[in-house]
Chain A
Amino acid sequence: MTGEPLVAWIGQMLPLGFSWSWGLDGWIVVIGSLAAVASSLLGNFLVLRKMSMLGDAITHAVLPGIAVAFLLTQTRSSPAMFVGAVIVGLLTAVFTEWIRGAGGVDEGASMGVVFTSLFALGLVILVQTADAVDLDPNCVLYGSIELTPLDTVSVGGRDVPRAAVVLAVVTVVNALFVLLFFKELRLTSFDPALATTMGFSSKWMHYGLMILVSVTAVACFESVGSILVVAMFIVPAAAAYMLTDRLGVMIAISVALAIVSAVLGHVLALSVPAWMGYRSTTTSGMIAVAAGGLFFAAATLGPRHGVLVKLVRRQLLSLRILCDDIVASLFRGEELEQPPPTATWLAGELFASNWSMKTALAMLRRRGEVADQDDRLQLTHVGRERGQRLVRSHRLWEQYLVDRAGSGAERIHDQAERFEHFTDRNLRDELAKETDTPVEDPHGRPIPDES
């Protein structure tokens, strides 16, 4: 293969410490990516419909389907078991929906009732079928992606792994489904009632989705293992949900993340144990871990909904407000001709912690708005202008609230305190116009001019 020198070169450049062969690892990555993409395409809608656990439920519940297929055909032939598993997978969705609707049980609980019962039923059937020991439940749960390249079929004169063919078909079908019914899926996922009134049957969309979910789940876990499909139904879609608000973009991101985690997962499975002196480990487990890592990154660093980003944004905002408060209270002190305060006294006055006070003062000093005068704080010319603007906004708001909104004079201070930080020049002019350009606020203090 032509790629081998390239990978060997990459292997030399980055001391990853593993061997790579396109004939084997290449196919594993391709098959993993196909399974991941097929699952995550549908997973977006499962996450949005709050049915994330369905993948897990189906992979457990299909046991009776497999058992009955085995009982009827007496072979481990793939097609019969596939059909049996898909039928039971679909039944899982139908029963869950029925118990939820008719019994008024919440989604998760009805799923739990259905899949545990079906699994137990399957186990009993399996045990009753004599000599069925080779159908160990564990092998249902751990399909192994490492062995897929060995089981090949001939496509157009070339040997292609069977799993790759099956998963490629499933991926194409899922992609077509999502593309063709994008509008309907979006509508029925976000507002089933509206969809019904507009003439789309949300019920049929639901069952269409469920059929594909069970086909995908069965096709994937049969070839690559259940953990991969359970993870890929949820994690890439959830990560994409943290990154965007648009459904189309979310699907695209989830597909990209699915491919990245498949590649990354296999590389990790080869390289991480090698660092510790072992051979490779389970690829499907590592793909799930890689997807989890990507989710963690998206959930913390996502530009709009990331936890860390939100935290930083909140901290910056509170810092800005603290700066405003410092400048405004220094300005008020000057106005009343009080001596300049110390930083400690001001911190107590503004209920600010020591640390945030220090940060805020450092910021103000750097901007040249506050200067020190033997451990006392004083406004510079620039700072005084800013303070004047803030105090003007505050008092104009107070005047407006009393004048126009009819608030009582005792409550206006807190509201004005909140508004003053978000009031710009235009709004101040507008407020002044609305309140007939007052010179005093309701408490009798002078409203400073626009500097």
Chain B
Amino acid sequence: MDSAEPILSLKGIGKSFYGNRVLADVSFDVGAGEIIGLVGENGAGKSTLMKILFGMPVISETGGFEGSIYFNGKEARFKTPFDALDAGIGMVHQEFSLIPGFTTTENILLNRESLNSSVLVDVFGPRISTLDRATMESRAKSAIAKLGVTLDPNMLIKEMPVGHKQFTEIARELCRENVKLIVLDEPTAVLTESEAEVLLSTLRLLASEGIAIIFISHRLREVVELCDRVVVLRDGHKIEDFPAKGSSTKQIASLMVGRSMEAQAKIDAASAARSTQSDSDARETILSVENLWVDMPGETVRNVNLSVKKGEIFGIGGLAGQGKLGIPNGIMGLSPAGGSVVLNGTPVELNAPRAALERNMAFVSEDRRGVGLLLDEGIDWNIAFTAMQVQNQFLKPILGGLFLWRSDAAMSNLAEEYIKLLEIKCTGPGQRAGNLSGGNQQKVCLAKAFALRPDVLFVSEPTRGIDIGAKHLVLDTLKKYNSEYGTTIVMVSSELEELRSVCDRIAIVYEGRIEGILPHTAPIEDFGILMAGADRDETTVALVGGN
């Protein structure tokens, strides 16, 4: 299906956000009728690349990009997504961008409706023309027909099953006259296995009509099955570009997560240094989780069983949306949960944050600004509040203990102590947490958890959105805290490298279940396979197909 002239050709694309490089020298071509699978871990640069292609305003606002894009033989530098659409690039988003109260037809033809002309239009301009419903419906029908599926053109979006919504999105892109390239971002993530099958065959049909497709997915099996070529991104670099035929999911997975030699050596050295203390089998179990389910939107946990040894740093990894974030949120009572969580031999009450805190567990949330901080209060309040409310610290009894008086001085001292210890850059303990930078906010969140002197500390995405220097400090602090106080730490992170450099054992979550638990010394390919859930594809089909 390759044509001589590529329809899209990316040459040396690079981009950095505020000095933080996310893409470097990425080049590849897409021919007409070709299906390219674009894969990479979270943060590998896939979405940034697509934002550049689409001329999203966020790119030009942050200083533009390097390199050049050739579309249809001409150099293209789209200023807005509208330019990209006009040029013939369609985009199907991960989140549905459909209007729930409109019908299929209305959504497909939004802003491109067929119009009736009348005298009034001649006088007052096209804004008052009426819709030509009959033509619209036939246009929508022809777009749907190209997909090879049946959709009711008059059905409201909100009444549709998820799969039909996805097809409506694609039909909308197809309905443009000159569409030559369609980008699909995780189109199958929300579909059942059978719906995904239909979608894949639809995509093949479109490709055979000469439309080029860029397919972004975490489901590697689909990528291998569907695509002509696979482009692997890792840390903003293009790692490989090879024909999908004959490759295996295992091979792609290892390319996705594999690290550069130095980084690998560093991790190995760090692992070796810690290997003496990782005789975790000998230690007693502090926390055991059985049949845990957590109803956390976007991070559903279905059935998790794991046990954490006293004093270890236990890592939980996995791709976004597989449920790794749901585990600490469920155990700490922040999201509705069920199952059994046993700490030190006694069960922990679920769905009750206070009960979890009183059992000496602490949680540093991934949602710093939403859950982790009182943005309008000072650093001292932020650090001391939980310890004050749960453990009655920083309180002076007055009138013989009838009332508990807040000791601002003690809170301030505590804040001073942590500001020094964690190198929090601020004007003083009274500075509002909302005015701190991301890294310093994260340090405040850690200090809040440390102030509780927990037995088990859950840390969720501790380095998300903070700069490299702060990252190192946060991770080092966690390690130090673990070795000095013997605190058991459960660390959830999307960054496998980070988990491997800090944790003793790492559990990988896939589709709400623990796919496997590996020691940090295990080869990186093994982690990649677990993350992609490759081993279980057959069972998954059975499970998902069943509902």
Q: Is B a genuine binding partner of A?
A: no
**Chain A interface residues toward B at CB < 8 A:** none
**Chain B interface residues toward A at CB < 8 A:** none
